[in-house]
């Protein structure tokens, strides 16, 4: 045998093996780690109280007294014909509704990326099975209650930290579909069948579809980034945080703005479902499911749309499909997470949401 030892081939370990190995060399949280987690918790509590919890409490209280939704469908802002002015009005109305939540999402995403100990985050979210990963992701989505576009930066931050696809997918779609505030709003202004259908299909998509896609859909390799066993210095945290915040803001906000403008530009062609059932029959449910998956709305924006459609005589099939697909995903949201989740994974979730919308419409037609 020669003096230089012959190198042996090294097999790549699956992500589960990587995670298990790292848990065996788990380091204890340092004071700097605890400061990072404390800052994240502060951002979450203050930011969500300001942008979500307190406003939604007031909205729920008002609805409990009036049972009348105060507001018109977002797509009315774009007008009835193709126009740049209508697209700009649509964009302004949309961002007026979501800017607080989007700001909080960017702040939180940067904190996850720069301040949270990566090994701690992965112990929380990267469980042994895809089902348990999706359950954790869906559970963590409940308090944040974001729309799909505002959940996208956080989802991208989770993926950049090594969180597996099933957990990240469940967090992404769980935010809009399982939003407790929206479920309360639905219960106060729409028939009970809509609330139950939303809850059941929300769980099926957020937990079931996320686990299925993570397990069976081939996508971007699950790579857990390496992390030094030494904690970063306290003095480096502000620079790390500002770098991450700049990265998320400069990449995600311009494309979000541009894509929402495009949706506003073409929405007069896409959102006209009045009379669709009379023209094409049951196929209207499929059309509504596909088109609704692409459109963008703020949190709870599906409610005035469904109320207006029901008042115009649109049936439970179309409105039942929109109940799921409108909040769950949108073109801007899918573009914002496409790189981090992988385009095949993102497209698969889009297909799962559209299918869930069709089934939701069928169920509501049967029970209404």
Give pLDDT tens digits for 160-185. Answer: 999 999 999 999 999 999 999 999 99
- 80 token code pair: 């009835």
Burial tier of 172 (Cβ tally within 10 Å: 0-12, 13-18, 19+): buried
Region of poorest pLDDT, from 220-224, 258-262, 276-280, 290-294 = 220-224
Please compute the mean of the pLDDT values over residues 142-159 and round it to a whole number. Answer: 97
Compute the chain's Rg from CA coordinates: 22
Share of the chain above pLDDT 70, in %: 88
Please determine, for residue 126, whether its predicted confidence score (pLDDT) is greater than 80. yes
Please determine, for residue 9, whether its predicted confidence score (pLDDT) is greater than 70. no
- 269 token code pair: 């062609």
Residue 314 half-sphere exposure, CB side, CA atoms within 13 Å? 24
Averaged pLDDT score across all residues of the chain: 89
104 vs 154: CA distance, rounded Å = 10
Q: Are 330 and 296 in contact (CB under 8 A)?
A: yes
Please compute the mean of the pLDDT values over residues 13-28 and round it to a whole number. Answer: 52
Q: Are 340 and 164 in contact (CB under 8 A)?
A: no
Please determine, for residue 366, whether its predicted confidence score (pLDDT) is greater than 80. yes
CA-CA-CA-CA dihedral for 223, 212, 145, 77, to nearest 10? 100
Give pLDDT tens digits for 309-342. Answer: 999 889 999 999 999 999 999 999 999 999 999 9
* pLDDT at site 218: 81
Which residues have CB under 8 Å from 94's CB, separation 6+? Answer: 74, 77, 260, 264, 296, 297, 298
Q: Are 21 and 13 in contact (CB under 8 A)?
A: yes
* pLDDT at site 172: 99
What is the b/e burial string over 232-266, where b = at least 16 CB atoms within 10 angstroms of the residue's CB? beeeebeebbeebbebbbeebbeebeebbbebbbe
Which residue in 274, 319, 265 sits closest to 79, CA to CA? 265
Between 17 and 107, whose confidence is greater?
A: 107
Residue 232 banded pLDDT, cuts 50, 70, 90? confident
* pLDDT at site 4: 41
* pLDDT at site 269: 79
- 351 token code pair: 């297909």
Please determine, for residue 72, whether its predicted confidence score (pLDDT) is greater than 90. no
Please compute the mean of the pLDDT values over residues 267-284 and round it to a whole number. Answer: 76
Please determine, for residue 230, whether its predicted confidence score (pLDDT) is greater than 70. no
Q: Are 366 and 306 in contact (CB under 8 A)?
A: no
339 vs 350: CA distance, rounded Å = 15
Residue 193 half-sphere exposure, CB side, CA atoms within 13 Å? 14
- Write phi, then psi, for 358 (nearest 5 degrees): -60, -50
- Angstrom CA distances, 26 to 84, 227, 236, 320, 363, stand at 55, 11, 22, 47, 48
């Amino acid at each position: 045998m020669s003096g230089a030892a012959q190198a042996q081939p090294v097999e790549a370990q699956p992500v589960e093996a990587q995670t298990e190995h790292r848990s065996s060399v788990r380091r204890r949280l340092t004071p700097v780690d605890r400061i990072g987690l404390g800052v994240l918790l502060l951002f979450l509590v203050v930011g969500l109280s300001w942008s979500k919890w307190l406003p939604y409490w007031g909205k729920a209280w008002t609805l409990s007294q009036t049972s009348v939704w105060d507001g018109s469908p977002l797509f009315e802002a774009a007008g009835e014909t193709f126009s740049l002015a209508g697209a700009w009005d649509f964009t302004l109305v949309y961002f007026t509704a979501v800017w607080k939540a989007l700001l909080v999402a960017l702040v939180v995403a940067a904190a996850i990326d720069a301040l949270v100990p990566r090994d701690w985050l992965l112990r929380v979210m990267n469980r042994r099975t895809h089902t348990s990963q999706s359950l954790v992701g869906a559970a963590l989505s409940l308090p944040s209650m974001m729309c799909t576009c505002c959940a996208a930066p956080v989802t991208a931050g989770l993926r950049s930290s090594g969180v597996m696809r099933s957990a990240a997918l469940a967090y992404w779609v769980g935010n809009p579909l399982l939003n407790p505030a929206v479920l309360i709003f639905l219960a106060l202004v729409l028939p009970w069948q809509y609330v139950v259908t939303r809850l059941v299909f929300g769980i099926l998509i957020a937990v079931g579809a996320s686990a299925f896609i993570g397990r069976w859909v081939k996508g971007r390799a699950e790579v857990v980034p390496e992390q030094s066993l030494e904690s970063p210095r306290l003095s480096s945290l502000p620079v790390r945080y500002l770098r991450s915040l700049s990265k998320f803001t400069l990449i995600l906000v311009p494309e979000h703005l541009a894509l929402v403008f495009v949706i506003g530009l073409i929405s007069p062609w896409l959102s006209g479902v009045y009379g669709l059932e009379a023209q094409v029959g049951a196929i209207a449910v499929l059309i509504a499911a596909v088109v609704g998956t692409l459109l963008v709305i703020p949190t709870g924006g599906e409610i005035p749309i469904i109320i207006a459609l029901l008042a115009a005589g649109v049936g439970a099939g179309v409105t039942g499909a929109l109940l799921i697909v409108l909040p769950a995903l949108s073109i801007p949201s899918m573009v914002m997470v496409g790189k981090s989740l992988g385009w095949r994974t993102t497209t698969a979730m889009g297909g799962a949401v559209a299918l869930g919308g069709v089934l939701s419409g069928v169920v509501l037609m049967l029970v209404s």
